[in-house]
A and B are shown apart, each in its own frame.
Chain A
Amino acid sequence: MSQAMDVMNIALIIAFAAVALAQVLSMVRLVMGPSVGDRILALDTMVINAIGLIVLMGISQGSTIYFEVSLIIAMLGFVSTVAFARFIMRGDIIE
């Protein structure tokens, strides 16, 4: 059991590093994105990566309280992406 836990801890560290690197790369696209659609896409990717980071934190702490947090962040991310896109398309969010 302890050897398996060692393997899982190494996998957790690798997953934390990879998802944090993905977050940084999408932030680079958010800063340098030539068009508005790229920036909206980068923000959407950053929200999804943040959900992944929160799930990883829940695994590393052995807690299930973070699932509610990530569900709320998923809902807010979807609503904000739709609001950004509608604002670019229509010039208004709720007509």
Chain B
Amino acid sequence: MSWDIIGIYATSAALIIGAIFAMVGAIGLIKFNDPMVRMHAPTKVGTVGIGALLAAAIIYNSVIGDGAIHAILIMAFLFVTAPISANFIAKVNIHRRNCDTLPAPEGDETWSTLNVSEADRAIAPQKDGAA
């Protein structure tokens, strides 16, 4: 059994792993029923799913061709940007009051990221008296 055949089988295994993780992420995106819980599933697509598919591409190109190390750039870029975009989507959910927010603080203080000014407090969106 030469290295080429081992590489092709490793490519197949990485392809199957990446495809399973991509599909599990999409099923989780459909099945979960809370906006904040729903953000949990697609992160697997971004890290393990695309990571395994790109690993398959790297292994396959190093077996049949002359290597494709620059595919690691895509993986690094996705790993760096996935938490940032998830943070932004979470801030959108908090801003739209789609999730459970913190109880109202004592006195005149408001939560610092959702600092509604005194004049707008009557028209600010409120969710069942929590804010």
Residues of chain A having any CB pair with chain B under 8 Å: 1, 4-5, 7-8, 10-12, 14-15, 17-19, 21-23, 25-26, 28-29, 34-38, 40-42, 44-45, 48-49, 51-52, 55-56, 58-59, 62, 64, 67, 70-71, 74-75, 78, 81-82, 85-86, 88-89
Contact = CB atoms under 8 A, between A and B. Distances in A.
Interface of B: 4-5, 8-9, 11-13, 15-16, 18-20, 22-23, 25-27, 29-30, 35, 38-39, 42, 45-46, 49-50, 53-54, 56-57, 60-61, 64-65, 68, 70-71, 73-74, 77-78, 81, 84-85, 88-93, 95-96, 98
Contacts of B89: 37, 40-41, 44, 81, 85
Given A55-B50, A59-B57, A35 B15 contact: no
A74 to B, nearest CB: 5
A17 to B, nearest CB: 8
